[in-house]
Copies of this chain bind each other. A is one copy, B any other.
Amino acid sequence: MNVLIVHAHPEPSSLTSHLARTAQQVLLAQGHEVQTSDLYAMGWKAVFDAQDFPDRLDASRLSFIAESEHAYANGCQSDDVAGEQRKLQAADALILAFPMWWFGMPAILKGWIDRVWAFGLAYGYRGAGNAYRYGEGGFAGKRALLAVSIGGPAADYGPRGINGSLDQLLFPITHGTLFYPGMQVLAPFALHDSGRQDAAGVAAATSAWTTRVAHLFDEAPLRFRPQNGGDYPDRHTLAEQHAPGRRDLSIHLAD
């Protein structure tokens, strides 16, 4: 299989970099092909702007959606974006390794999503509006796994932890960014207390992460409900018989 590892930390000795390297080693040892996008090393342009559209549909007004659709459909995206899309399309799985900054991705990684997740590919698939999303779409058939290093302790991210539970804090990424265009998403891997790990802690985390990576292609993914599986009869709202009376993000996971 082919795996793309996208990595968003500039310090080679950081735990994020360690997780990315470990994943690469485990996958290569299993005989997989590995591609990497080390965003800091690449000098990845984070900001999605007019430069992304060298051949504009409408030079007088910048609509990101209209220009993204035009550029993707007509092969006139910027080279860096087209290159990352080629890597993704060759990949059977995507690993995103990043530090949690303010309960989300670092800007450089958010900008990789903003720019690479083009209209016609990651949304607006087949020019059919929202017909294909959440379980179907341009990235269907691929798996996705997050490796997140987190400064705070696991207790703060527990089911009733003060920060909010980790799975729900990451929902905009797991569900909204990865499942939306069709990927099957595994439960995130989190390394807590990232600034306070001693050698034994790093060894334990490395072992746990190694196991997760080794099972990248056979672990059961999160059971997010597909848009077109019947649970959202009008494609907008979850039918009342599912998770009745609830309105939290976890209702979008099948029972």
Binding site for B on A (CB under 8 A): 10-11, 13-14, 40, 44, 46-50, 61-65, 99, 101-108, 110-111, 113-114, 117, 130, 134, 151-153, 155-156, 158-165, 168-169, 171-173, 175-177, 180, 195, 227, 232, 234-238, 240, 246-252
Contact = CB atoms under 8 A, between A and B. Distances in A.
A20 to B, nearest CB: 16
Given A117-B102, A169-B172, A172-B169, A238 B162 contact: yes
Contacts of A247: 159-160, 165
A237 B162 contact: yes
Nearest to A109: B107
Contacts of A234: 155
Nearest to A177: B102
Given A110-B107, A172-B172, A249-B249, A160 B11 contact: no
Nearest to A249: B164
Contacts of A48: 101, 106-108
Contact of A40 (B49, B171, B176): B49
15 contacts: A46-B107, A47-B107, A101-B114, A102-B117, A105-B110, A107-B108, A107-B111, A110-B110, A155-B237, A163-B176, A168-B171, A169-B172, A169-B249, A246-B248, A248-B249
B10 A50 contact: yes
Contacts of A169: 171-172, 176, 249
A160 B113 CA distance: 26
Nearest to A251: B160
B237 A65 contact: no
Contacts of A160: 237-238, 240, 246-247, 251
Contacts of A111: 46-47, 107-108, 111
Closest 5 pairs (CB-CB, A-B): A107-B111, A248-B248, A103-B172, A103-B176, A159-B247
